[in-house]
Structure 1
Amino acid sequence: MTQEFDLDSVIRQRIRSLRLARGWSLDALAARCRLSPSNLSRIETGRRRIALDQLVPIARALDTTLDQLVESEDDEDVVIRPQACRAPGMTSWLLSRERSLHGVTVAKLRITPDHPTDAANLKVHPGRDWFTVLSGTARLHLGERVILVRTGDAAEFSTMTPHVIGAHEGPVEILTILDHNGERTHLPTTTDS
């Protein structure tokens, strides 16, 4: 019952906040969703029970969805609890919500000197890669070039050039943003339990 009451309170607060953010009076929103201003006021203040047949037109008038209006406030939609995925010489943690077909993936990588960086491990894929070094020094093999990227520095490059990231003189931790092709090419897929 308390959880239902809390969600009810959150919905009321969202309606009022969205209305005020648009600079609308109760009368203006009431006209847009075909409710009386007194009914809308009672909904916002908690003196009237919220009914689904009222929420749909209110959500539509506020240019939002019913799902967004009634979504839960628990931490699971905010907090990401990354799990380690391992490959020889590399551990990765996915820091974005889910692997995305058309979006980007954010990951933290810990690369050790035993991560293979020979010519057989150079990768090519469409797009661009970006990373910043959190600690240590990364050794970026980019075609015939070897570029050292140190703590606090970032690198961005075309991935049509054969490339691989390794560790220079000890482990390196990087934060990377990859498109779908980069994710598929660079991130290990086995999760440790």
Structure 2
Amino acid sequence: MNHPEGAVTDEVPGVAPRLRDLRRDRGLTLETAAGRAGLSPAHLSRLETGRRQPSLPMLLGLARIYGTTVSALLGEVPPERDAIVRGGPLGASEADGWRYRQAGGSGRAMQALRVRVPYGTEGDLVRVHPGEEWLYVLEGRLRVALGETLHDLGPGDSAHFDSLTPHRIASLDRSGAQLLFVHTLLQSSAAELCLGNGIHRL
């Protein structure tokens, strides 16, 4: 299942050449990388040339495939192994309605983000990939689908699951939901498994 291509925006400047360079550095063809990300080669090509801008779910998927972080894809690399990440009003990035702020250091086996999920996000987008995910709802209500089971979470609720479980998330509130999100950064041949029609590999 491919992402909708949407309109070109200027919210994620400079990401196109990094996507192209990372793919080439990993020795992946356009077709192979696109297949792992659940995108068409034409769509990935448009992302790499800046004619389309990736959403945050796309960035998360591409970061996993290339063994890096969303922050690195966006050129927001903090000092290596910095143990402290300061809060504050600056430093948030937005892509396709998702807003996130780095909440953990770089160069680690996990990536931690503070994320705002817009209303109705990922209603039909199912993700499957190696690793683990943990999320904690700070504000609003979130629907988490794990396999065939739906879970409605509120502030203070959390979910921790194997990411090979087909999953999707959506905000139940028109104002969106705020959450802490942690996922493992893994490169694995399991991402190439045929997971069936309608399963989006991220």
Give the structure, 1 or 2, with the largest relative contact order (CA under 8 Å, sep 6 or more): 2
Structure number with greater Rg is: 1
TM-score (norm 2): 0.46
TM-score (norm 1): 0.48
**Structure having the larger proportion of residues in helix:** 1
